[in-house]
Amino acid sequence: MHTKRKYKLWVIAAGLVLLILGAAGLITARILSRRFEPYIREQAVEYLKKRFASEVELRALHVRLPRTSPLRLLMTRGRGVITHVDGEGLTMRLRGRPELPPIFAIRKFAFEIDPGKLFEATRTVRLVVLDGMQINVPPRGERPAKRSAAAPESKDASPAPGGGPPSVLIEKVVVNDAVLVTLPRDPKKVPLRFDIHRLELDSAGPGVPMNYDARLTNPKPPGEIVSKGTFGPWAADEPGDSPLAGEYVFEKADLGVFAGIAGILNSTGSFQGTLAAIEVKGEARVPDFRLKTPNNPVPLVTKFEVLVDGTNGDTVLKPVHVTLGSTRFTTSGAVIKHEGEQRRTISLNVSMPDGAIRDLLRLAAKGPPFMEGRVQLETRIDIPPLSGKVREKLLLDGRFELLEGKFLRSTIQDQIDSLSRRGQGAPTSTEIDEVASYMSGEFRLENEALSFRSLTFGVPGAHVHLAGGYNLANDALDLHGNLRLQSKVSGTVTGWKRWALKPVDPFFAKRGAGTFLNIKVDGTSQHPKFGLDRDGGRK
């Protein structure tokens, strides 16, 4: 009986011990679960501070443990218990520059962690989802000078094991509805902005670039860009130096948002560089490129290599190869914004060794082209910030040669053929027909006024040297110069007039020409009028 009583006492004592241990375990587990939230918050903020060298603000953070036994949580130290973390109002600012917008501003975020891995040397986060994120890239040099080695760390900057920042590997980041803004050095200028619908970043390992897949909206011309490539690592001291590379597809961009031009652009290419300076190589096609006023579409294809300054949007063009219709030419220059201007200035150098005048006239003139031939062109093109029609702002300065030119309207070509016949002393010859003309000149276009420093026009038997201008606004010619004919004056007519003019041949045969006359050209480009300049012309 005594032995049986002692056995019962031992059972009761063991039960009490187990009950006490279980209660202690439950209390300890509950305390541990309640401490996860501040611990995770502290570790997240500390990591962001050190990783991005910034001041971090976090409005709210919530940790949700799955339904599991607190005792199991205690015994396993959380290993294998996937915990959901979400937060809102996360901002990171450059240290010492509170007047600048945050480098990162995130409306909401969420991720999952394994609490048991929080105590490992490398903390792994499988997926982070960010919603409503704005990235502001400051101009180079905006970060304050680094503190000296002797400068003390902030009080809350507790070092991670090994003395460095916590080692964190984020395997995948998904960003929804983000905005990338590159800030200009001059705060009065408008920042360059890109809207990113969705961005996915996949880690390839600590300290190496992340692979990305992005969809974003180009600000001007508007259109969607799909891009894949690599980004990072993030350069905390100079965010603009963060590497960026990849390929893109840019489709259905409407050029009609620009003054004076229209068409739908599609482009593909690749790029590399940094957030602050990107070199882009690619091809763009506009099958219906046109100036809005003539509204004659001409296919346009460009193969380009450009350098884009991400902090201000300035673009430097390395030789760009352009095909307009069947005409090929190259251009180089820049699209920049000058001090005090709200819009950009285009400054280009164009070299066209062998173009088709049909293509140029189809683009620039109303109605069908009135001339054909080959054109050689070297010119500088300046387009100040646009606020009106393109041609009102367009400035050209260069030289050209027109070879094998023929007018497609019979009235003009008939006059050219007649000039050649008379110049050769055969005014009634039917064999002299559809003659090709030659033209060259040095020109300048400004404020819709085209001035010719020199303009030479030639057909077999006749050469014209002119100077003057052409007003594009009202299609008015005002040219003066001289006409040189191979034939004498009497040879330009027939019948009795030929014999009547023979006595005056010596008066017009001068300067090495059979006939030398001062002439003028007025009228319009489609209906020019040739006549004698009784005021002496311009030599």
pLDDT tens for 400-439 read 998 888 877 667 788 888 888 888 988 888 888 888 888 8
Domain boundary among 121, 151, 170: 170
Residue 391 domain flag: no
Q: In this predicted structure, which of 36-50, 447-461, 477-491 has the lowest mean pLDDT?
A: 36-50
Higher pLDDT, 400 or 447: 400
Q: In this predicted structure, which of 7-11, 273-277, 378-382, 497-501 has the lowest mean pLDDT?
A: 7-11
Residue 372 domain flag: no
Higher pLDDT, 324 or 35: 324
Residue 428 domain flag: yes
Residue 41 domain flag: yes
Residue 497 domain flag: yes
Highest mean pLDDT among 30-44, 190-204, 250-264, 457-471: 457-471
Q: Say what the pLDDT of residue 392 is.
A: 53
Q: In this predicted structure, which of 89-98, 200-209, 380-389 has the lowest mean pLDDT?
A: 380-389
Give me the percent of the chain exceeding a pLDDT of 70: 76
d(CA 198, CA 189) in angstroms, rounded, equals 27
SS3 75: helix
SS3 235: coil
Average pLDDT (200-218) is 81
What token pair was written down for 248? 């893109």
SS3 28: helix
Contacts of 129 (CB under 8 A, 6+ apart): 109, 110, 111, 173, 174, 176
Residue-number span of the structural domain to which 529 is assigned: 409-539
Q: What is the mean pLDDT of the chain?
A: 77
Using a 10 angstrom Cβ sphere, with 0-12 exposed, 13-18 middle and 19 or more buried, the burial of residue 470 is: buried
Q: Say what the pLDDT of residue 106 is.
A: 92
d(CA 298, CA 295) in angstroms, rounded, equals 9
Buried b (16+ CB within 10 A) or exposed e, 406-440: bbeeeebbeebbebbbbbbbbbeeeebeebbbbbe
Domain boundary among 170, 192, 209: 170
What token pair was written down for 118? 């929080």
Residue 80 domain flag: yes
CB 407 within 8 A of CB 395: no
Average pLDDT (36-41) is 73
What band does 107 get if pLDDT is binned at 50, 70 and 90?
very high
**Which secondary structure element, helix H or strand E, spans residue 273, and what is its range?**
strand 264-274
Q: How many domains does the chain have?
A: 2
Q: Say what the pLDDT of residue 130 is.
A: 92
Q: In this predicted structure, which of 101-115, 141-155, 271-285 has the lowest mean pLDDT?
A: 141-155
SS3 239: helix
Q: Say what the pLDDT of residue 340 is.
A: 46
What token pair was written down for 401? 């040669």
The alpha-carbon radius of gyration of the chain (Å, integer) is 39
Domain boundary among 170, 192, 226: 170
Model confidence pLDDT, tens digit, residues 239-294: 778 888 999 998 888 887 776 778 888 999 999 988 778 888 999 999 988 877 77
Measured torsion, CA atoms of residues 295, 301, 307, 308, in degrees rounded to the nearest 10: 40
Is the pLDDT at 157 greater than 50, yes or no? no
SS3 392: helix
Q: In this predicted structure, which of 255-264, 310-319, 345-354 has the lowest mean pLDDT?
A: 310-319
CB atoms within 10 A of CB 372: 15
Residue 379 domain flag: no
Is the pLDDT at 448 greater than 60, yes or no? yes
Residue 48 domain flag: yes
Q: Say what the pLDDT of residue 21 is.
A: 46
Give me the percent of the chain exceeding a pLDDT of 90: 12
